[in-house]
């Protein structure tokens, strides 16, 4: 499971679809609807909020917005619709780690997108997150 901290605009089509599916799985885990993945490290940041289900729902909304921008048709009714107005901190080190990880995928899957983003210096986080100084997050599997 990869719940990207970087903005979904950086993902290729395959990555965006995978993010949608994995985020829906995360929502089901946080709702207690599955036995697997309950202790997945990527879920820590959502579990540490005041309302983990609303937080993952807000995360999913940004994924759907990117999908809509690309004329994909994700089923928005699958998102649990509680409001979550807070944002979650993510370290600069985590953003950079994920961005490099994504570039290694893009070079093999979507060279045009790789060329577009390979020299980016300011990487925008997913709208659910805001940058704070720091290394790769403790929950990341490096």
Structural domain count, the chain: 1
pLDDT of residue 54: 95
Task: Give me Rg for the CA atoms of the chain.
Answer: 15
3 within a domain of the structure (yes/no): no
Mean pLDDT by 10 residues, the chain (142 residues): 93 96 95 84 92 95 96 94 89 96 95 94 95 95 82
CB 39 within 8 A of CB 62: no
67 within a domain of the structure (yes/no): yes
16 within a domain of the structure (yes/no): yes
For 1, 14, 24, 112, the CA distances from 79, given in Å and listed in that order, are 18, 20, 8, 31
pLDDT of residue 5: 97
2 within a domain of the structure (yes/no): no
Show the domain range for 44.
8-132
22 within a domain of the structure (yes/no): yes
Residue 131: strand pairing partners:
90
142 within a domain of the structure (yes/no): no
138 within a domain of the structure (yes/no): no
pLDDT of residue 142: 81
Hey, what are 36's tokens?
């697997």
81 within a domain of the structure (yes/no): yes
pLDDT of residue 81: 73
């Amino acid at each position: 499971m990869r719940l990207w901290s970087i903005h979904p605009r950086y993902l290729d089509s395959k990555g965006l679809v995978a993010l949608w599916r994995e985020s829906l799985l995360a929502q089901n885990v946080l709702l207690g609807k599955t036995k697997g993945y309950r202790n997945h490290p990527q879920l820590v940041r959502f579990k540490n909020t005041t309302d983990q289900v609303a937080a993952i729902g807000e995360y999913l909304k940004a994924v759907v917005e990117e999908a809509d921008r690309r004329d994909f048709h994700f089923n928005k009714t699958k998102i649990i619709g509680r409001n979550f107005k807070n944002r979650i901190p993510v370290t600069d080190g985590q953003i950079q780690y994920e961005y490099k990880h994504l570039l290694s995928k893009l070079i093999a899957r979507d060279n045009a997108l790789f060329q577009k983003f390979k020299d980016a210096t300011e990487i925008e986080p997913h709208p659910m997150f805001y940058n704070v100084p720091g290394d790769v997050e403790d929950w990341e599997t490096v």
